[in-house]
């Protein structure tokens, strides 16, 4: 499932610990982008807010109930547009159980760290019948020197090695830096999802192996994960919607 319209190729990560802000961003951008990625910060925040109970008073119970209703509202808003960014990295039985549990909400995409091993990826695929399973390779915040210290190989070598594993497990796609896309021409069946995408007018931030949206598409990306340039654009760009429109123009150029 590779979407053809430029806007549908954009995945916006909702990295926030404010449920009202998350609802606001999704409501604003829902007609203008393809998917929303719910990751570690947002998911952990939701769990903590529901679990935290300083007292068992009626007012606290009402507060928790209202928060849960907002969470349900948020997930309802992203129905059919959810990328559940759990980045599972554990033994195969645990990863398979997590995939089966989250399958209740039928996300479009889920992901698992390729470094967790072949069997963990296989179990994710087995337990995600309604979702596209993506294998996470080397995070875009890691440069080649650090990659060698972690994996014993450069990012270029390791991404290709992970790609073979992901393909063997019959997963649907791969997550990698746009800098490694040119190395994946021998894996045409894998959907390529790339974080580390920054338009020319956006700050680089903590990403190290990056490209512009147009460069990433030309290199073979199917979906682009673009966060802060959209959710917190420079003042001169305008609103998040203005930022998306500017990025779409660049993608279609």
What one-character-per-residue DSSP string does 75-132 give?
A: HHHTTTSEEEEEEE-S-HHHHHHHHHHHGGG--SEEEEEGGG-HHHHHHHHHT-TTSE
Query: Among candidates 103, 67, 80, which has minimal Cα distance to 8?
Result: 80
Residue 118: count of CB within 10 angstroms of its CB: 14
Q: Do 82 and 105 meet the contact criterion of CB atoms below 8 Å apart?
A: yes
Active site residues: 87
Q: Please give the Cα distance from 251 to 224 (Å, whole number).
A: 10
Average pLDDT for 182-195? 96
Residue 211, classed as helix, strand or coil, is strand
- Please give the residue that has the higher pLDDT: either 207 or 227: 227
pLDDT band at 203 (very low <50, low <70, confident <90, very high): low
User: Taking 70 as the threshold, does the pLDDT of residue 205 lie above it?
Assistant: no
Q: Do 141 and 179 meet the contact criterion of CB atoms below 8 Å apart?
A: no
Per-residue pLDDT tens digits for 33-54? 999 999 999 999 999 999 987 8
pLDDT on residue 72: 98
pLDDT on residue 2: 52
User: Taking 90 as the threshold, does the pLDDT of residue 151 lie above it?
Assistant: yes
pTM beyond cutoff 0.85: yes
Domain spans of the chain, in order of start: 6-252
Q: What is the CATH number of domain 6-252?
A: 3.20.20.70
pLDDT band at 209 (very low <50, low <70, confident <90, very high): low
Per-residue pLDDT tens digits for 58-91? 999 999 999 999 999 999 999 999 999 999 999 9
């Amino acid at each position: 499932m590779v979407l053809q319209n430029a806007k549908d190729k954009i995945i916006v990560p909702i990295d926030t610990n404010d449920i009202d802000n998350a609802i606001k961003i999704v409501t604003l951008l829902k007609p203008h982008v393809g998917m929303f990625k719910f990751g570690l910060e947002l998911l952990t925040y939701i769990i903590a807010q529901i679990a935290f109970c300083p007292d068992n008073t009626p007012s606290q119970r009402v507060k928790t109930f209202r928060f849960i209703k907002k969470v349900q509202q948020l997930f309802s808003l992203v129905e059919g547009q959810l990328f559940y960014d759990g980045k599972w990295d554990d033994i195969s039985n645990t990863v398979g159980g997590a995939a089966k549990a989250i399958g209740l909400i039928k996300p479009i995409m889920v992901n698992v760290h390729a470094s967790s091993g072949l069997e963990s990826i296989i179990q994710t695929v087995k337990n995600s019948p309604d979702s596209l399973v993506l294998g996470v390779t080397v995070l875009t915040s890691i440069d080649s020197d650090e990659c060698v210290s972690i994996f014993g190989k450069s990012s270029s070598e390791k991404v290709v090695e992970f790609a073979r594993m992901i393909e063997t497990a019959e997963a649907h796609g791969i997550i990698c830096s746009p800098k490694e896309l040119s190395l994946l021409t021998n894996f045409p069946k894998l959907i390529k999802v790339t974080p580390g995408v920054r338009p020319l007018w956006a700050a680089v931030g903590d990403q190290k192996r990056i490209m512009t949206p147009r460069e990433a598409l030309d290199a073979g990306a199917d979906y682009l994960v673009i966060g802060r340039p959209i959710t917190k654009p420079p003042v001169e760009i305008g609103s998040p919607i203005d930022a998306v429109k500017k990025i779409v123009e660049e993608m279609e150029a």
